[in-house]
Amino acid sequence: MNYFTCDACHYIFHADDMPSSCPACSASSIIAQNNNSKKFKIPAVRFSTETEMEQSRLAETGESATKSFLERVKNLTGYTLTNDEYHTALMLLFYFKSAPKEITSMHLNDLLCGRNSFIENKMAETAAGNLYLQAQKHFTSELGRERRETGCNDAVEVAAYTEKGSAASLLLLFRQNETDQILGKTPILTNIRSVKFDQVVKGPSGDYIRFLIDWHNSVRQ
């Protein structure tokens, strides 16, 4: 499989053989010019440079990672989680949204590892708590950045101007109490800061463990 670039529309694609025209814009040739200002026709499609191929691969990897991230967020509804577990899972997914699979796998393995002694158990709980706090701070920081860039404060407005899977769009998924639901209130920073990690760290439910296992296994494939 080879990579090709169209100099007419800048489309980069892969195929077995070089086509006579671009599959995106249908151009077969373009007008080029040399140092003497002489114009002439050259084929629109050529072999991609190493830089173009690398950038295209990175873009494809990023798109795949974003798709997997959004699917995991959507699949959270398939687990029976406490509110704190659900919100922790959302922020943890966001935290590792663009992380290399090796890094994500390593941290998930640490969260799932067995503990053979009281000391090991305390060390694991401390590490898990620190990871959740980092995820919370990162989520809050990214929400702040999105607000500054869009010039909006309301999460609904910020989400409307940012990509799918943004911090604002995930904040809208936060569960609220019955009163706030009736009043139609939008989740705010207080909802993020009110997430308690104690139960998630010391006594996670079976479904929260299943969520971590499923996530770990999917990134190991």
For every residue of 203-214, which 3-state class applies, written as one string?
CCCHHHHHHHHH
Residue 57 in domain: no
**Residues 92, 135 contacting (CB under 8 angstroms):** yes
Number of domains in the chain: 2
Q: Nearest Cα to 74, choosing from 84, 86, 83?
A: 86
Q: Same structural domain for residues 78 and 109?
A: yes
pTM of the model: 0.69
The C-alpha atoms of residue 128 and residue 170 are separated, in whole angstroms, by: 22
Task: Per-residue pLDDT tens, the chain, 221 aa: give them.
Answer: 899 999 999 999 989 999 999 999 999 999 998 998 899 999 999 999 999 888 887 766 655 555 688 889 999 999 999 999 999 999 999 999 988 888 999 999 889 886 555 657 788 899 999 999 999 999 999 999 999 999 999 999 999 999 989 999 999 999 988 887 777 888 888 999 999 999 999 999 999 999 999 999 888 76
Q: Same structural domain for residues 7 and 86?
A: no
Residue 114 in domain: yes
Q: Same structural domain for residues 38 and 131?
A: no
As a whole number of Å, the CA-based R_g of the chain is 24
**Residues 172, 123 contacting (CB under 8 angstroms):** no
Q: Same structural domain for residues 27 and 77?
A: no
Residue 56 in domain: no
**Residues 172, 155 contacting (CB under 8 angstroms):** yes
Residue 53 in domain: no
Q: Supply 81's token pair.
A: 């989680």
Q: Which domain holds residue 114?
A: 63-220
